[in-house]
Amino acid sequence: MDVSNVEPTRRALHAVAELVLAGPQYRTSGTIRLRIRPGGFETRAEPRLRVDGAELVFGAQRVPLVGTTCEALGRSAGVDAGAPAGLYQDGSGAGPGEFVDADPEAARWIAGCFEAGDAAMRRFAPDQEPVLWPEHFDVGIAVDGVNYGVAPGDAFCPEPYAYIGPTEPRQGEFWNAPFGAARPMRNLAGAEGVLAFFKEGRRRAARRDP
């Protein structure tokens, strides 16, 4: 995977998740929570929209996320594109009129990383429902005061990574990130590797091991 294609694709997918899926869902159904699905992600309530690879899907129609804007995508899907208002300060930073370009290969890789993380979280904490949050565009859960999840990349790491974030700081070699611990997804063996990472983090967080 060419990592240089990941960042613009991640930014495009984040913008679509926030402005085309989460914003309209919040204004219609009162929730910003999205969920992972095979090949991408989708809304949990009305309007029913999903992203499959590098395409927006609604009903039987598919619109490529290439050389377009969230505003145009929203018009195609019959929704008003825009972020959820008044809920958080960060987000994608994209406006409805900004162009988005998603590379299909990079989009599939990001989707695969999200799927592996979602599967690992469901095995790690079966009573938890992983949520794809539109603010930071990461899928995660919280267990006993510790956040577990997968992010598609950000200012900390330019590529998808799994993370563990205790609410109280930890010290030691395992805790290699400002927020706790992180491992690039390419270094983990899919869902099994992510699950092993989460289990090790839970053990160390509980015992405050280095």
- In angstroms, rounded to a whole number, what is the distance separating the alpha carbons of residues 49 and 79? 10
* Domain extent listing, the chain: 3-105, 109-207
Could you give the CA distance from residue 180 to residue 83 in angstroms, rounded to a whole number?
29
Q: Please tell me the distance from the alpha carbon of residue 132 to that of residue 63, in angstroms, as a whole number.
A: 22
The model's pTM is 0.94
Question: Which residues are bridge partners to 148 per DSSP?
Answer: 141, 164
Predicted pLDDT at 55: 98
CA–CA distance, 34 with 52 (Å, rounded to integer): 14
Q: Answer whether 140's CB lies under 8 Å from 147's CB.
A: yes
Specify the pLDDT at position 1: 59
The pLDDT profile of the chain, 210 residues, written as one tens digit per residue, is 566 678 999 999 999 999 999 999 999 999 999 999 999 999 999 999 999 999 999 999 999 999 999 999 999 999 999 999 889 988 999 999 999 999 999 999 999 999 999 999 999 999 999 999 999 999 999 999 999 999 999 989 999 999 999 988 888 999 999 999 999 999 998 999 999 999 999 999 987 666
**Cβ atoms of residues 41 and 49 within 8 Å:** no
Sign of the CA dihedral running 126, 201, 88, 156: negative
